[in-house]
Chains A and B, each alone.
Chain A
């Protein structure tokens, strides 16, 4: 099976879906001639045309709204945000319009649109480029929110997103574009609402999504040296959430550590914790642990940036607390 990058997997997903359905088009800043700020749309303009790979003026509010309008009249736009931090400029179109038009119109107008682009902290880009906004979007009925951690998941989930008849917020890991994974050459789709067990273990369940899945896998390797076998559950789809996979893992291990790179207060991990305690209270042998970024805007200096974000050592420490080893 070929091993390809996360970036290439996303590119393949868009290329295949644009081949399959002439109603799919992509629009954003630099997506055409420049091949995307992160080169995710590499070669698409040459392969398709300016009619379907559209370089937009610099205004997220504009191309998000244009995408919503085009979706309402029957097309399936993919809107690329150079980073999800800039989606805040367009949030009225995403939250007040895309998420609500199907409901407000009594089911008359659906909005099959994908808002995609990188999110979460990269490396030393400061507070306005480092935010994890999934908790904002996961709060909104009408949206679907997915965050793949691997190239395999990225391709299968993006293809599903493009075919979905609802607005999908598809947040890519900014530091994951060069990460590689085995991706089959034959077509596959990954349904939303299905978490994935990325590592099997019996002592503790680590729940994470996007970049934090990798941090958890690294932490699990370290823990294994001490004989602690961690199960790593990749949420993948935040809205809808796969309740069953998560809760059956915690029911098995009896310990739960939720790791997210976003802020702690009203963060998505709190919702996961609520669901886990509701379903698994009798199986839990320790309080649920959360590992998050510190509750501050992201600083620029490398030492401070590292300090703010969850590190492998933080995950290990939380696991040890959950196992009463600390």
Chain B
């Protein structure tokens, strides 16, 4: 199998080496922002690499890498902090961009006493209300109508905030995708749909998800623009998301963005892609690596040096090492905490289960007790 060819309608700014394509319009991005994106993309890749190694060592139960897809994470970069982001499970860069710390990230992987979600969620299912980043849900697609709900909430509250929702191309086959897109189209919701088309939904290739010409083409049926963008081209990503955000804020409604990219490695630590796809396919995509292309662009602009990249790499590696060292001093979440947050106020039957469990040293309560 050969990788899908780039198509004519694909929005691109950079070529595969990071050079600006002839006649391409370069979005206005400050040098500071470019530096920050490069820095955060580096962190994302380093974190992925370190966490997957821990998984392979048996220290983590599960991990999901995003290598090769990182540029699409920065569709969030032009958003305001008050805008809401409904992530899928493969946008680590979006979390770091919004300020999610290395420490919180690592503690969530271990589900320990400092885990922001208190040991209740699988690894990479983060939640950060303080960053307007919404809890990740495992059934794919449920976040799509929810994001439309947040967008409508902004309208109801008279704010001009927008929401952005991520999902993979496989999720576009779900009912949730259809209803979310349809409602947003009907209501002109200020919502930006980012479809990360990475070619594979675990072992199911993109051509088995849809007979449509592209995923962006689906937008037509919902009465909204569908834009196909090179998902490994950070400048093109920033350009199309800027346009979509502007439209949404101006009350002109939603946009579907299909970011064409590629899942270079397995779906998760539990997956082995060598059994279902040609190993040459990822090699082709490695030559379009989003980090290398951004590096190439920065080099041409005189904004990159080996020493600076070395410093970034060292800083992030050190932060992860420090966070991991701290993990060794942390305990698991306290047993009594598992009864919290089921309800705002604990009802009697949960309070009794808790009292029983805490008094019985790990024996199971005989149903609940009165």
Q: Is the CB of A108 within 8 A of B148?
A: no
A275 within 8 A of B: yes
Q: Is the CB of B347 within 8 A of A193?
A: yes
By a CB distance below 8 angstroms, the chain B residues around A67 are: 149
By a CB distance below 8 angstroms, the chain A residues around B6 are: none
B:330-370 near A, CB below 8 Å: 340-344, 347-350, 367, 370
User: When A61-B175, A240-B348 are in contact, do A104 and B153 touch as well, CB less than 8 Å?
Assistant: no
By a CB distance below 8 angstroms, the chain A residues around B129 are: 105, 108-109
B179 within 8 A of A: yes
CB distance from A282 to the nearest CB of B (A): 14
User: When A97-B137, A109-B135 are in contact, do A92 and B142 touch as well, CB less than 8 Å?
Assistant: yes
CB distance from A14 to the nearest CB of B (A): 16
A295 within 8 A of B: no
Q: Is the CB of A61 within 8 A of B139?
A: no
CB distance from A245 to the nearest CB of B (A): 12
A297 within 8 A of B: no
Which of B117-125, B192-200, B307-315, B318-326 makes up part of the contact surface?
Answer: B117-125
Q: Is the CB of B156 within 8 A of A52?
A: yes
Q: Is the CB of A62 within 8 A of B120?
A: no
A57 to B179, CA, bound (A): 9
By a CB distance below 8 angstroms, the chain A residues around B350 are: 141
A247 to B139, CA, bound (A): 40
Q: Is the CB of B146 within 8 A of A104?
A: no
- Contact partner, B145, options A93, A102, A247, A275, Cβ 8 Å: A93
Give the size category of B's interface with A. 35 or more
Most buried by A among B125, B130, B179, B183: B179
User: When A51-B156, A142-B343 are in contact, do A96 and B137 touch as well, CB less than 8 Å?
Assistant: yes
B68 within 8 A of A: no
B69 within 8 A of A: no
- Contact partner, B148, options A66, A102, A278, Cβ 8 Å: A66
Q: Is the CB of A73 within 8 A of B84?
A: yes
User: When A75-B156, A97-B137, A106-B120 are in contact, do A66 and B146 touch as well, CB less than 8 Å?
Assistant: yes
A208 to B202, CA, bound (A): 48
B176 within 8 A of A: yes
Q: Mark B122-166, 1 if CB is under 8 A from A, else 0.
A: 000101111000110111001011111111111111000001000
User: When A61-B179, A141-B342, A240-B349 are in contact, do A68 and B146 touch as well, CB less than 8 Å?
Assistant: yes
CB distance from B370 to the nearest CB of A (A): 5
CB distance from A120 to the nearest CB of B (A): 24
User: When A65-B146, A278-B370 are in contact, do A106 and B127 touch as well, CB less than 8 Å?
Assistant: yes
By a CB distance below 8 angstroms, the chain B residues around A166 are: 343-344
Q: Mark A36-60, 1 if CB is under 8 A from B, else 0.
A: 0000000000000001101011010
A228 within 8 A of B: no
A293 within 8 A of B: no
- Contact partner, A25, options B120, B134, B156, B175, Cβ 8 Å: B156
By a CB distance below 8 angstroms, the chain A residues around B142 are: 65, 92-93, 96-97
User: When A92-B139, A274-B367 are in contact, do A66 and B152 touch as well, CB less than 8 Å?
Assistant: yes
Give the size category of A's interface with B. 35 or more
A103 within 8 A of B: yes
- Contact partner, A193, options B134, B137, B348, Cβ 8 Å: B348
Q: Is the CB of B150 within 8 A of A73?
A: yes
Q: Is the CB of A106 within 8 A of B115?
A: yes
A69 within 8 A of B: yes
B95 within 8 A of A: no
By a CB distance below 8 angstroms, the chain A residues around B116 are: 106, 108
A65 to B367, CA, bound (A): 32
Q: Mark B162-193, 1 if CB is under 8 A from A, else 0.
A: 01000000000001101110110010000000
CB distance from A45 to the nearest CB of B (A): 15
Q: Is the CB of A97 within 8 A of B146?
A: yes
A:122-168 near B, CB below 8 Å: 141-142, 144, 164-166
Q: A62-B182, A77-B149, A106-B115 are in contact. List 18 more A-B contacts (CB 8 A).
A: A59-B179, A63-B145, A66-B145, A70-B150, A70-B153, A71-B149, A72-B134, A72-B135, A96-B142, A97-B142, A102-B343, A105-B117, A105-B129, A105-B341, A108-B128, A108-B129, A164-B344, A243-B348
The 9 closest A-B pairs by CB, nearest first: A69-B149, A65-B145, A69-B146, A62-B179, A66-B149, A105-B127, A106-B117, A107-B341, A108-B129
